[in-house]
Amino acid sequence: MIEGFEERHGLHILPAWGMTETAPLGTIASPTSEITALPIEEQYAFRAKQGLAVPLVEIRALGEDGDVVPWDGATLGELAVRGPWISSAYFGAAEESAGRWTDGWFRTGDIVTIDERGCVDIQDRAKDVIKSGGEWISSVALENALMGHPAVAEAAVIAVPDEKWGERPLAVVVLNEGTQADAEALRSHLAADFAEWWLPDRFAFVNEIPKTAVGKFRKTALREQFAPQAPQPVPFE
């Protein structure tokens, strides 16, 4: 989309990230001289992310154990920020504040990778990430890849309980009218880009995915529907 607006309409899209609690700006994908010297495809890849921390804002990502994860562009962690205009608490909500602020750092609830340059790339929300065998799987990354399949109109990925791994991904899929695809075909489609342990064990094909008033997938409804009695895993070689 960024490339299309730039090439066809001359509109320069500059992504940024922030929250109410960051009042509001935290990062911006403003290319540095190092980025502008890269091939155009790599420049677009940078501009599709959330970018670098703005001056006076510090960032880090925390693993499930609370340790700071490396800036390698691959390891997932929950984004934490601090700075002079970052909120320090929720008014009149001491208990909720205690779970979100630690030593001046605000835990955002966004699951990200941070690369060697300090560029933030949001992968998921903490409430939606799948925690499987002590590792995190991005539901958003799987959804985007599934919706790249020509037979798939919509796809939402949720965590379902698993006796061995704690959680495993289940993909809820709406197919385009007049097309066909089964679970094995969709897993094969994903296998080109993801490690095998990321691949959904289970698929559910539906006519419609419930959505919120603003068009987002209602994953709470999907978890209520599919998590208690999830379909059996699909054999896959």
Predicted model pTM: 0.86
Angle at 36 between CA 113 and CA 75, to 5 degrees: 10
Going along the chain from its start, the domains and CATH numbers come out as: 2-125 (2.30.38.10), 130-226 (3.30.300.30)
Query: pLDDT for 58-72, tens place per residue?
Result: 999 999 889 999 999
Both ends of the chain: CA-CA distance in Å?
35
User: Is pLDDT at 237 greater than 60 in this prediction?
Assistant: no
| pLDDT at residue 160 is higher than 80 | yes
Instruction: Determine the pLDDT at residue 231.
Output: 46
Residue 229 pLDDT grade (very low, low, confident, very high; cuts 50, 70, 90): low
Q: Note the pLDDT of residue 211.
A: 96
pLDDT of residue 156: 98
Q: Is 38 helix (H, G, I), strand (E, B) or coil?
A: coil
What is the mean pLDDT of the segment spanning 116-140? Answer: 96
Give the model's pLDDT for residue 235: 45
Q: Could you report the per-residue pLDDT of 71-86, keeping only the tens digit for each?
A: 999 999 999 999 999 9
Which pLDDT tens digit goes with each residue over 1-33? 999 999 999 999 999 999 999 999 999 999 999
The encoded tokens of residue 94 equal 């001491």
Q: In what order do the strands lie in the sheet with 152-162?
A: 152-162, 166-175, 202-205
| Helix ranges, the chain (H) | 2-9, 33-36, 40-47, 94-100, 139-146, 183-191, 219-226
Give the distance, in angstroms, between the CA of residue 132 and the centroid of all CA atoms in the same chain: 15
Mean pLDDT of the chain: 94
- The reported pLDDT for the residue numbered 37 is 97
CA–CA distance, 46 with 28 (Å, rounded to integer):
11
> Does the pLDDT of residue 236 top 60, yes or no?
no
- Percent of the chain's residues with pLDDT above 70: 96
Residue 115, number of CB atoms within 10 A of its CB? 15
